[in-house]
Amino acid sequence: MKKFKVGDYLNSEADIQALLECVIEDQNEKILKRCIVEIASLKGVSIQPLDSPHSVSMALNAIGYKSVITKSKT
């Protein structure tokens, strides 16, 4: 049986944006980190370990989704 990969279901930038917005709204840190790692892998972006809120913010910025954080705080 094939292992579930978040990246298998992300076919466009809109899919990625929607996923991140849902995960941030849900406030599940573990799932958010998993999604960030999967998205970074899809985009070929190297990110630092996600061990603090700052590192999560930096990773989202690195993969091009800093606006998601701004939206989720409003």
Q: How many domains does the chain have?
A: 1
> How far, in Å, CA of 39 to CA of 45, rounded?
8
Q: In this structure, is residue 6 part of a structural domain?
A: no
Residues 49-70: tens digit of each pLDDT: 899 888 888 888 888 876 555 5
Domain extent for 30: 13-73
pLDDT at site 54: 86
The answer to whether residue 31 sits within a structural domain is yes
Name the pLDDT band for 74 (thresholds 50, 70, 90). very low
